């Protein structure tokens, strides 16, 4: 049976962070919420994400209010390309939809269309993997679905995420 759940065994992962000279990845700060809403809005089609900036802000605010689980500070990252917000990854300490899972759960990875195919998504996920390893986590999970691009499916597979 095929499932939309994917997990990565951090004990088997040999992935190292991927960065380039034009990009910076750091933990998300409260001052980044406006940039996150803008990124979220442009990264997803309206039928998948938010139809307008007001709704995008509401979605990001709900995320930070804990509606999708308790955010993991060190595993919520934003990427900048030459100083411009380019993508983000949002992670909670535990999936609220899958109580049997242990460890962090990626609730969102989004990259502005302007910066796709430039390694931003890979850099965000590999930085997250490093942060989770540093926290002695043994597993990271996520779900793929309607809003998951073919590039994201490929990235997750290349990094070792598999169906449990």
Instruction: Output the pLDDT for position 28.
Output: 96
Query: Torsion angle of alpha carbons 126, 80, 135, 8, nearest 10°?
Result: -30
Instruction: Output the pLDDT for position 132.
Output: 94
Contact call for residues 114 and 157 (beta carbons, < 8 A): no
Residues sharing a CB contact under 8 Å with residue 160, sequence separation 6 or more, in sequence order: 8, 9, 12, 13, 15
The pTM of the full predicted model, rounded to 2 decimals, is 0.92
- Report d(CA 18, CA 101) in Å as an integer: 27
> For 126-131, what is the mean pLDDT?
93
- Give the other-Cβ count within 10 Å of 45's Cβ: 9
Instruction: Output the pLDDT for position 1.
Output: 45
Comparison of pLDDT for 149 and 96, the residue scoring more: 96
| pLDDT tens digit sequence for 80-123 | 999 999 999 999 999 999 988 889 999 999 999 999 988 999 99
Instruction: Output the pLDDT for position 48.
Output: 85
| pLDDT tens digit sequence for 10-27 | 988 887 776 666 789 999
Mean model confidence pLDDT for the chain: 90
Does the pLDDT at position 151 exceed 90? no
Instruction: Output the pLDDT for position 45.
Output: 83
Comparison of pLDDT for 148 and 161, the residue scoring more: 161
């Amino acid at each position: 049976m095929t499932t939309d759940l994917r997990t990565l065994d951090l004990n088997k992962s040999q992935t190292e962070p991927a960065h380039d000279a034009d990009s910076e990845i750091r933990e998300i700060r409260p001052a980044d919420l406006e940039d996150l809403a803008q990124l979220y809005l442009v990264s997803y089609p309206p039928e998948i994400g938010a139809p307008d900036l007001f709704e995008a802000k509401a979605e990001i605010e709900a995320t930070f209010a804990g509606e999708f689980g308790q955010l993991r500070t060190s595993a919520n990252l934003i990427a900048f390309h030459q100083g411009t917000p380019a993508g983000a990854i949002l992670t909670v300490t535990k999936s609220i939809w899958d109580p049997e899972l242990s460890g962090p759960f990626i609730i969102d990875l989004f990259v502005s269309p302007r910066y796709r195919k430039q390694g931003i998504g890979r850099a965000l996920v590999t930085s997250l993997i490093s942060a989770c390893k540093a926290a002695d986590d043994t597993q990271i999970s996520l779900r793929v679905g309607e809003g998951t691009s073919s590039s994201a499916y490929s990235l997750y597979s290349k990094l070792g995420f598999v169906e449990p």
